[in-house]
Amino acid sequence: MNRVYNFSAGPSMLPLPVLEKAASELCCYGDSGMSVMEMSHRSPAYEAIIAEAQALIRELMNIPDNYKVLFLQGGASTQFAAVPLNLMNKNHKADYIVSGQFSKKAWKEAQKYGDAKCIASSEDKNNTYIPQITRADIRPDADYVHVCFNNTIYGTKFNYIPDTGDIPLVADMSSCIMSEPVDVTKFSVIYAGAQKNIAPAGLTIVIVREDLLGQSRADIPVMLDWKTQADNDSMYNTPPCYPIYMAKLVFEWIKELGGLEAMKAYNIKKCKVLYDYLDNQSYYIAPVEKEYRSMMNVTFVTGDADLDKKFAKEADAAGFKNIKGHRSVGGMRASIYNAMPIEGVEKLIAFMDAFAKNNPKNA
Ligand SMILES: *Cc1c(COP(=O)(O)O)cnc(C)c1O
């Protein structure tokens, strides 16, 4: 077995012990005589799996009892519509901070359902920073405020939690969920596609404060109604059974490491070696303003599109996969989610250094 370092932004690496455990019970889970993939979602064996996944995410993220955790399908992108359909139903207004492509997509989707306003944007500097907003920027009658907490494509992260007062704060945390502890009580809704930090694609996590359930528009598709999903323990229809099982294994892995504080310490250590390297040389440029740097997605360029291309190609051949930046921004992006070991980052730095020496820029 020759596993590469996969720097993909998502789907991305899963912890090897998790894959090995899944492999060991792939064909026969416990004494059930069947794979988790073949089980009825209403069977006692599966009910134990989903209950354990629920209990573990609550424990690890310290989620208070007045929040529901939903295991849904459709990806974070489906929540771009579900959020307004569930919440934009009092004053039909919502405020969006647009700090990258996913928040822009979310904002565009919400415009279909009401008055969705972009109250701050970082597009003026190619999303290399996070706009700072205060209560004064928020419309007092907004039904909610939406943020994308970690911008996967640009490699920026909120370094503060916007104070929205009594107005619900909704956060897309697809690319940073469980990378560190967050104070869930500061948010009304947190949602995330699982394929970056939690599980294979197919599972979407929604964490929603209970008092926000039951306010949805009458014409909401039943599958998007958080209340329906909450009332049915995410089993209104068949849930994404296997990704939920994989999420449970990942949660167990995080717990074994020492929980989210330990995960955070490891992630800080990991991204620090890379940022320290970037800050102490002049070949590569890291475009993101320092205080908004993401722990999970590290972007850099050589300043020469041809060299960037060569870098991505040679990195790939050397076993550093998917390091090419998003097609819309170019350059490079090393996504170093929870499952990326620090050795992967250290070896990448050695590769970067050698590449810089072997490919001098014509000044
Ligand atoms: C990947 C990603 C999305 C899109 O997720 P899907 O599950 O593919 O819909 C949305 N928001 C953020 C921040 C992401 O990183």
How do the pLDDT tens digits run along the chain, 363 residues long?
A: 789 999 999 999 999 999 999 999 999 999 999 999 999 999 999 999 999 999 999 999 999 999 999 999 999 999 999 999 999 999 999 999 999 999 999 999 999 999 999 999 999 999 999 999 999 999 999 999 999 999 999 999 999 999 999 999 999 999 999 999 999 999 999 999 999 999 999 999 999 999 999 999 999 999 999 999 999 999 999 999 999 999 999 999 999 999 999 999 999 999 999 999 999 999 999 999 999 999 999 999 999 999 999 999 999 999 999 999 998 888 999 999 999 999 999 999 999 999 999 999 875
pLDDT value at position 118? 98
CA–centroid distance, 81 to ligand 1, in Å, is: 13
Q: Which residue has the tokens 């990806």?
A: 75
CA–centroid distance, 275 to ligand 1, in Å, is: 24
Q: Which residue has the tokens 């190609």?
A: 313
pLDDT value at position 329? 86
Residues touching ligand 1 (Cβ under 6 Å) are: 10, 75-77, 102, 148, 152, 172, 174-175, 193, 196
Task: Tell which atom from ligand 1 comes closest to the C-alpha of 194.
Answer: 7
CA–centroid distance, 356 to ligand 1, in Å, is: 32
CA–centroid distance, 102 to ligand 1, in Å, is: 7
What is the CA angle 52-208-192, rounded to 5?
Answer: 75
CA–centroid distance, 294 to ligand 1, in Å, is: 15
Q: Which residue has the tokens 């599972």?
A: 203
CA–centroid distance, 283 to ligand 1, in Å, is: 31
How far, CA to CA in Å, does 287 sit from each of 56, 151, 313, 324?
37, 14, 21, 15
Mapping DSSP to helix (H, G, I), strand (E, B) and coil, where does residue 228 land?
helix
pLDDT value at position 132? 97
pLDDT value at position 363? 59
Task: Tell which atom from ligand 1 comes closest to the C-alpha of 204.
Answer: 7
Q: Whole-angstrom Cα distance, residue 305 to residue 69? A: 44
What is the phi/psi pair of residue 167, to 5°?
-80, 130
Burial (CB count within 10 angstroms: exposed 0-12, middle 13-18, buried 19+), residue 99: buried
Angle at which helices 241-257 and 259-279 cross, to 10°: 80
Q: Ligand 1 pocket: which of 77, 98, 103, 294 to mutate (most atoms <8 Å of CB)?
A: 77
Q: Ligand 1 pocket: which of 149, 157, 175, 189 to mutate (most atoms <8 Å of CB)?
A: 175
pLDDT value at position 251? 98
- pTM, entire model: 0.98
CA–centroid distance, 333 to ligand 1, in Å, is: 16
How far, CA to CA in Å, does 155 sit from each of 106, 182, 301, 325?
18, 19, 12, 10
